[in-house]
Homo-oligomer: A and B are copies of this chain.
Amino acid sequence: MLPLQADMEFTAKQIAELLQGTVDGNAEAKVSRLSKIEEGTEGSLTFLANPAYTQFIYTTNASVAIVNSDFVAEKEISATLVRVENAYASFAKLLEVYNTIQRNKVGIDSHAFIESSSSYGADVYIGAFTYIGKNVKIGDRAKIYPNVYVGDNCTIGNDTTIFPGTQIYSDCVIGNHVTLHAGCVIGADGFGFQPNSENNYQKVAQIGNVIIEDHVDVGANSSIDRATLGSTIIRKGVKLDNLIQIAHNVEIGENTVIAAQTGVAGSTKIGKNCMIGGQVGIVGHLTIADGTKIAAQSGVGSNITKPNEILQGSPAFGIGDYKRTYVVFRKLPDLERKIQDLEKTIASLRDKASS
C-alpha cells in the first residue's frame, strides 16, 4: 500500500506501482497534491483522459500526468507520464484514496455525548457536540461528525458517514455504506393535518420511521420525513442531491438518482433506475415506473406506468412532444397574427363569394 497522505510527497514510480502502470520520464518526480491539467503546478499530479484537453498536456506545469497507455505525444512534454489502462478510472481511484485518507478520522471526541444504553462498533469516529440518544446501534467504521443528533432507537450501519449538523429523529434505520451530508434532516414528522370544523388543522401524529438502505447518498440540507405509520423507504443505491424534499411514506426504488431541489409528495412510489432532474415536483400517491427519466423543473401529476419514458413539462408529458410543443409556444404571437390574417382573408373571400 502506497503511503499516500495529504501532507506527504510521493514519486512517479510509487504512483505507477499503485496504479499498475509504467513510467515515461523521470521516475523520481515528486508530487504532493492533485490538480486539473490546466491548473497544474510544480509538485502536482494530474491526468489526461478527455481528448478535448490534449492541448494542455504540452503546457501543463504538473510534475506527473497519468495518461492512457495508447497516448502518443506529438510534442515535448515536461511532465513525467504514468501510462495506465484507463487514465480516468485510475485518477478517480487516486481521488478516492486521497479522500479516504483525508477523512480517516477515528475515535470518540471527549465532547460527544452517547447515552449509556447505546453501542458502537470498531474504529468509529464520533465528533464533538454530537448527541447519540438511547438504544442506538452504530456499526463498525461509522463516522459521525460534530453537531449531529441521532435520536433514540436509531440504527447506523457499518462504514456509514454522517456529516456535521445532520439531525436524525428517533427510530430511523440507516444502512451500511451510506453517506448523509451536512444539514440533512431524517425522520421529521410528515406533513399530515386533518381540517376540523373550526377551519383550522389538527395534526395527525406521525409514528412511522425512515429506512435508508445500503449505499445511499443524501445531499446537504435535504429532508426525508418519517411515515405516518410504517416506513418511508430509500432503497439501495439511491443518490439524492442537496435540498431535496421526500415526504412521508414515499418509497424510492434501487439506484434511482434525483438532482437538487426536487420534491416528492406523500406516499408516492418511485421505481428503480429512475433519473429525476433538479427542481422537479412529484405529487402524492403516485406510482412512477422503473427507468423513468424526468427533465429538470418538470411537474408530475399522474401515474407513469410505462417504464423508461422520458418526460418534461408541468404537467409533464413525453420529452420529444414537449420540445416540439415548446418550439411552437415560442411562436405564439406569430401564430395569432396568422390566424388574424386568415380571418381577414376569409372575410374578404366570403364577401366576394356572396357579392
Contact = CB atoms under 8 A, between A and B. Distances in A.
Copies per complex of this chain: 3
A116 interface: no
A36 interface: yes
A232 B157 CA distance: 31
Interface string A42-76: 00000000000000000000000000000000000
A239 B201 contact: yes
A163 B203 CA distance: 16
Range for the number of chain A residues in contact with chain B:
35 or more
A215 interface: yes
Interface in A82-108: 92, 95-96, 98-99, 102
Interface in A138-169: 145-149, 151, 163-167, 169
B352 A353 contact: yes
A35 B92 contact: no
Contact of A169 (B98, B163, B239, B328): B163
A122 interface: no
Contact of A279 (B39, B281, B331): B281
Contact of A205 (B95, B230, B259, B353): B95
Interface of A: 34-36, 39, 92, 95-96, 98-99, 102, 111, 113, 127-129, 131, 145-149, 151, 163-167, 169-170, 179, 181-183, 185, 188-189, 191, 193-194, 199-207, 215, 217, 219-223, 225, 228-230, 236-237, 239, 241-243, 245, 247, 254-255, 257, 259-261, 263, 265, 273, 278-279, 281, 283, 296-297, 299, 314-315, 317, 321, 324-333, 335-336, 338-339, 342-343, 345-346, 349-350, 352-353
Given A165-B167, A201-B239, 16 more contacts: A34-B229, A39-B230, A92-B194, A92-B204, A99-B205, A111-B113, A147-B165, A151-B164, A185-B221, A185-B242, A223-B243, A247-B260, A265-B278, A296-B299, A321-B333, A324-B333
25 contacts: A35-B230, A92-B202, A99-B206, A113-B128, A149-B182, A163-B169, A163-B188, A167-B183, A183-B183, A185-B221, A188-B242, A200-B215, A200-B236, A200-B237, A203-B217, A261-B281, A278-B281, A281-B296, A296-B299, A325-B329, A325-B332, A328-B332, A342-B346, A345-B350, A349-B350
Nearest 10 Cβ contacts at the A-B interface? A95-B205, A185-B220, A149-B164, A328-B332, A99-B205, A167-B182, A220-B223, A188-B220, A165-B167, A131-B146
